[in-house]
Amino acid sequence: MSLPQWYSVFIEAVDAALDKVLPDGEIEPRQLHAAMRYSVFPGGKRIRPAVVCASRSAVAGPKRSGNSRSDDPAMWPSVAIELIHCYSLIHDDLPCMDNDDFRRGKPSCHKAYGEATALLAGDALLTLAFEALASPSFLDAVGPEPACSCVAALASAAGSRGMIGGQQLDISPWPWLEPGIGEPEALCLMEALKTGKLFQCAAVMGGIVGGACEEELGILSELASDLGLAFQIRDDLEDAVSEGEGAQPGIITAVSVWGVEGAQQHFVTLIDAARTKCRLLGNAGSELMDIIDLVNREW
């Protein structure tokens, strides 16, 4: 399926920015730097960075400088959030977590470089993300207050109240909430933390860079929350359909809680909700609508 032109151009720009930020694989420690690059490239559709870019465009208008977005200040948070995402994938694949041997069609980082190097490569990508947001170029472009707001948003979304917290719930034996909390509520909490928080952060950082008002930030955050949860449910559905995944004791997914048809309905409801919020942004939200349509069409 072809991507919108702006999206294809953006992927090239964010890949070039990631290549510039990452240490060269020939610089010592070579094994570590090679493992970092191995886990970032090739990187698929870069959907979280695209949400940053599209959210900035939704409140500030698209960057019009030929076909390049490389000088867009939203590129720095775009790079940072993709580095966070790639680090999380390395750690998710480790034997102590999901124990996956393959990622993006090739051996996972710990299979290619060993567990110790993979662990350190993930740590290094996490650290590099915040180094990117502290770049003098980013501070010069947006000012110290917006830059600090982006740092705070990313730290919160990636930490124990966000992605890492969701992953902890994912690996914890069920039930892991107090009595009276059912599986649907627990699932929504886990997936909102594990996936939704980074989507929300991407939208909020794009809004901050674009100079969004509080109302616009609220719309972006809620839209991205719906989109992130839909994205995770889609992953659960893909696992169930492609691998014949059944209910596993102690593990809850959208399919184990609602069944395939129920999960599909929740997915559709969330996509519709994201579209409704996106329409509040008018024509300026067209790039965000493209992303919503992409997530929907891929399923």
- pLDDT tens digits, one per residue of 226-281: 999 999 999 999 888 776 655 455 578 899 899 999 999 999 999 999 999 999 99
Whether residue 10 contacts residue 68, with contact meaning beta carbons closer than 8 Å, is answered with no
Query: Distance (Å, rounded) from C-alpha 267 to C-alpha 154?
Result: 26
Hunting for tokens 């989507």 — which residue is that? Answer: 199
pLDDT value at residue 172 = 85
Q: What share of the chain is helix, strand, coil (3-state, %, to 5)?
A: 70, 0, 25
Which of these, 96, 80, 93, 74, lies nearest to 22 by C-alpha position?
Answer: 80
Which of these, 168, 166, 170, 164, lies nearest to 239 by C-alpha position?
Answer: 170
Report the relative pairing of strands 106-107 and 102-103 from DSSP bridges: antiparallel
pLDDT tops 60 at residue 64: no
Q: Which domains does the chain have, with CATH numbers?
A: 5-298 (1.10.600.10)
253 Cα distance to chain centroid: 19
Question: What is the DSSP secondary-structure string of 107-161?
Answer: E-HHHHH-HHHHHHHHHHHHHHHHHHHT-HHHHHHH-HHHHHHHHHHHHHHHSTT
Can you give the pTM of this predicted structure? Answer: 0.93
pLDDT value at residue 115 = 97
pLDDT value at residue 183 = 83
pLDDT tops 90 at residue 165: yes
Average pLDDT score, the chain: 91
Provide the residue type at 53 as one letter.
C
Calculate the CA dihedral of residues 118, 123, 124, 130 and round it to 10 degrees: 150
- pLDDT tens digits, one per residue of 44-57: 889 999 999 999 99
- How far lies 160's CA from each of 168, 179, 211, 253, in Å? 8, 22, 28, 20
Query: Residue 179 CB: number of other CB atoms within 10 A?
Result: 5
Average pLDDT for 16-20: 97
Percent of the chain scoring above 90 in pLDDT: 78
User: At a CB cut-off of 8 Å and minimum separation 6, what does 45 contact?
Assistant: 3, 7, 11, 294
Reported as a pLDDT band with limits 50, 70 and 90, residue 105 is: confident
Does 166 or 248 have the greater pLDDT score? 166
Query: Distance (Å, rounded) from C-alpha 174 to C-alpha 184?
Result: 13
Reported as a pLDDT band with limits 50, 70 and 90, residue 173 is: confident
pLDDT value at residue 171 = 87
Instruction: Give the 3-state secondary structure of residue 103.
Output: strand
Average pLDDT for 67-89: 88
Provide the residue type at 27 as one letter.
I
Query: Distance (Å, rounded) from C-alpha 55 to C-alpha 57?
Result: 5
Whether residue 68 contacts residue 13, with contact meaning beta carbons closer than 8 Å, is answered with yes
Asked if the peptide bond before residue 29 counts as cis, ω within 30 degrees of 0, the response is yes
**Residue 102, H or E segment:** strand 102-103
Calculate the CA dihedral of residues 178, 157, 102, 120 and round it to 10 degrees: -110
pLDDT value at residue 195 = 95
